């Protein structure tokens, strides 16, 4: 299991015997989940870009934002945030995990806690757990992380925590939805019908556990080749996506392009949104509008994108 203090209560397992009261994540003001019903839609990359955009477009100008990777079996945040193969997180005096930091974001992931080979890498380490172990690990990641960072009691809480969810509607999503006060969910999809079918299931699941849905975000909506101004819809027309959003009464938060900078930036641990080239500007512009909408959706008023730049 994950490190924990013996003085803390044991994890709660949702049962049919009675409801477990939802609670807030310690030292976090707003909780925003990024989810999809299907894998491979770029959800983790979107989560990283959203967290960075929220930090840069906060109502007060700047904000303390963290990102929590709840994909127990396939954590992506260490790679995307440039935090691979580093030392395991330290613990506070009471046994809470201290987040790692890069690009100004507090980060926590199962990927930081996996056993390492003699060479110092955990790239080939697999998590082979049954559902009960997964639920316990998820609860520890949710409630046993001190998001104030190294400063502890002298530190400040996070203004927002972005949670990168695993695909599907299984143990992790259900545990989060039943135990945590979530301020809003962002559903990510690509244009294909096969992705939209699963996205609808994700929407249904969040509604069943009373998690407000802020809207849907279309990823890989068109290909931007960099040598022309014509968007290439290589995954098909966008009409099915917009029809699905309308049928589900969901707001379309934005349409992200498919650009090479997103892939190369993720591989290098340098999110594309932090770049300065034309492709980065495309992603940055969309994510700025998404961040402003999300801040407003969780009760923090912020002016919509205008002349000011990130």
Q: How far apart, in whole angstroms, are the C-alpha atoms of residue 284 and residue 137?
A: 34
The pLDDT tens digits for 60-92 are 888 999 999 999 998 999 999 999 888 889 999
d(CA 68, CA 26): 13
Identify which of 108, 89, 219 has the alpha carbon closest to the alpha carbon of residue 158.
108
Residue 306 lies in a domain: no
Give the span between the Cα atoms of 229 and 46, in whole angstroms. Answer: 23
Residue 42 lies in a domain: yes
Whole domain around residue 126: which residue ranges? 28-297
d(CA 290, CA 273): 13
Residue 17 lies in a domain: no
Would 266 be classed as within a structural domain? yes
Residue 13 domain-assigned? no
The answer as to whether 98 is a domain residue is: yes
Residue 257 is encoded by which pair of tokens?
A: 């392009």
pLDDT at position 18, please? 61
- Asked, for residue 15, whether it belongs to a domain, the answer is no
As averages over each run of 10 residues, the pLDDT of the chain (310 residues) reads 53 58 94 90 95 92 93 92 89 93 96 78 78 89 94 88 91 90 95 90 91 95 78 88 94 93 92 87 93 91 44
User: Exposed (0-12), middle (13-18) or buried (19+): which is 101, by Cβ within 10 Å?
Assistant: middle
Phi, psi values for residue 157, rounded to 5°: -70, 165
Q: For residues 35 and 186, is the Cβ–Cβ distance under 8 A?
A: yes
Counted domains in the chain: 1
Distance from chain centroid for Cα 80: 12
Residue 180 and residue 22 in contact, taking contact as beta carbons nearer than 8 Å: yes
Any domain includes 11: no
Tell me which residue has tokens 């930091």. 101
232: domain CATH number is 3.40.50.300
Query: How does 149-165 read in b/e, with b if 16+ C-beta sit within 10 Å?
Result: beeeeeeeebbbbbbbb
């Amino acid at each position: 299991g994950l490190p924990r203090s013996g003085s803390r209560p044991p994890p709660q397992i949702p049962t049919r015997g009675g409801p477990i009261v939802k609670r807030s994540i310690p030292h976090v003001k707003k909780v925003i989940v990024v989810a999809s019903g299907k894998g491979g839609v770029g959800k983790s990359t979107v989560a990283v870009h959203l967290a960075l955009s929220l930090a840069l477009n906060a109502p007060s100008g700047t904000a303390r934002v963290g990102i929590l990777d709840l994909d127990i079996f396939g954590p992506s945040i260490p790679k995307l945030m440039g935090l691979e193969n580093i030392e395991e997180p330290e613990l506070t005096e009471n046994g809470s995990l201290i987040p790692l930091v890069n690009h100004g974001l507090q980060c926590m992931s199962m990927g930081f806690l996996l056993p390492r080979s003699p060479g110092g890498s955990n790239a080939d380490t697999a998590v082979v757990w049954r559902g009960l172990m997964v639920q316990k690990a998820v609860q520890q990641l949710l409630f046993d992380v001190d998001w104030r960072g190294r400063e502890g009691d002298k530190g400040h809480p996070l203004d927002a925590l972005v949670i990168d969810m695993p695909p599907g509607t299984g143990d992790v999503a259900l545990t989060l939805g039943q135990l945590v006060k979530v301020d809003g969910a962002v559903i990510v999809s690509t244009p294909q019908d096969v992705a939209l079918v699963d996205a609808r299931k994700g929407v249904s699941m969040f509604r069943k556990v009373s998690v407000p849905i802020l809207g849907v975000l279309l990823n890989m909506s068109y290909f931007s080749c960099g040598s022309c101004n014509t968007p290439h819809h290589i995954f098909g027309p966008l009409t099915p996506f917009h029809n699905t959003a309308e049928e589900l009464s969901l707001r379309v938060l934005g349409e992200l392009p498919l650009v090479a900078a997103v892939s190369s930036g993720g591989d290098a641990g340098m999110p594309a949104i932090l770049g300065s080239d034309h492709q980065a500007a495309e992603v940055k512009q969309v994510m700025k509008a998404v961040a402003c909408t999300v801040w407003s959706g969780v009760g923090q008023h912020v002016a919509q994108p205008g002349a000011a730049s990130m």
